[in-house]
Amino acid sequence: MNLSRTKLRPTKPRPTKPPRVEPSRFTPRDNVSEAFAGILQRPARSALTALGTVLGVGTFVAVLGLTATTSSQIDGRFDLLTATEVTVEDIAREKDEFAGPGFPADADLRIERLGGVQHGGVFGEVELDAASGGVRAAPVGGAADRGAGTEVIAASPGALRAAVPTMGQGRLYDAYHSGTTQRVAVLGSAVAARLGITTLDTRPAVFIGSEPFAVIGIIDDVRRKPELLLSVVVPRTTAEEIWGLPRSRATMLIATDVGAAQQVASLAPAALRPDHPEYLKAVPPPDPKTLRSGVTSDLEQLFLILAGICLVIGAVGIANTTLVAVLERTGEIGLRRALGARGRHVTTQFLAESGALGALGGLVGTSLGTLTVVGVAVFRDWTPVVHPGSVAVAPLLGLLTGVLAGLYPAWRAARIEPAEALRR
């Protein structure tokens, strides 16, 4: 073999593969542990940061619970008062200008014969002349008289009983006083105080114009027709005898049993005026469910706005504190980035911290809101009502508030350059 002719070909070195670098990993477990480590590192600041969410979520739960709890109480109040009250108006002159009074003289007896009626009677305002001098506690009085401008109401005995008054002193007038047109009067507590009448032991009297009326009772409170507390009430028959038929429209007040108001309203005109039932217009009470839903809706809207304001304040607090934490931990963030942490790892870490604060505030707020509902119900002797849905949603609402509040600080932390951070 001729080696001289053999050409040696230079061998090319094989390219060496760069060593494979494993990408950094940030597991959910690591994220949760780092988030709680950051929270527990400054517990006082974390507690104050979560306070806004606690107030917002607690208000949210308390509003829904108290609204549901008071619904049954509102139903009860409407059933006992509004739902048991019927009014009948005299519209005789609207139907016939030559017609007389729409209510008969024995209107109280006729209406109380209906089933489901507790009490009923006619009342109306007495129209006094300007020169009469109004109501006084003495036979004569000038412009400085404390009773000037006091209303005088002519009411039958049944109308007074239907108002369910609470007597401070004395008694109400009855059918005897009305039948014999006695000049007696019952004063509301406000009018009695204005006129200086504090006791009935001295047998006081009031003067309506020039007519004296013996005061036989003082009303402290009424469940219906609160305007009676600001008026002087006299028998209807006595007022008609002295001042004639009132020019203003008379009204009948009827107190019924629970559930009988609608039936009484439909039968009252025919029972009072079988000859002309169209002369009277019965006004039944509003539907308790409709009225309750309206009141409940207004309460919910008002307090939910308050809860929303608290949540916004809590979100601002979380965002502000998280942003301050980002600025304080710039060196830590740079070190993490230099050791291989990615931008999204930093983002998820700060989002986890703010979300944990929000969720913690939501849990505490839910507990406080539930305890508030139970405490108010026990104090008022009510039955507490808390919807499970609101209790379940409230912590999630706190978590969502925390995550949304941490979006900007987390994005700000992810944009920090490692070299710049390490130089600080």
pLDDT at residue 389, rounded to an integer:
78
pLDDT at residue 178, rounded to an integer:
93
Q: What whole-number distance in Å separates Cα of residue 297 and Cα of residue 64?
A: 11
Closest CA to 359 of 306, 333, 309, 367: 367
Count of CB atoms situated within 10 Å of the CB of 117: 24
Q: What is the DSSP letter of 21?
A: P
pTM: 0.54
Upper half-sphere CA count for residue 270 (Cβ side, 13 Å): 6
Q: What is the DSSP letter of 342?
A: -
Upper half-sphere CA count for residue 2 (Cβ side, 13 Å): 2
pLDDT at residue 11, rounded to an integer:
58
Q: What whole-number distance in Å separates Cα of residue 157 and Cα of residue 236?
A: 8
Number of helical (H) and strand (E) elements in the chain, helices listed first:
15, 11
pLDDT at residue 303, rounded to an integer:
67
pLDDT at residue 408, rounded to an integer:
78
Place of tokens 């104050």: 48
- pLDDT averages per 10-residue partition of the chain, 424 residues: 53 59 63 70 73 76 75 57 83 82 90 92 84 73 56 93 93 94 94 90 89 94 89 93 80 89 91 92 73 62 70 70 68 70 77 82 86 85 78 82 78 72 60
3-state secondary structure of 15: coil
Closest CA to 46 of 407, 390, 361: 361
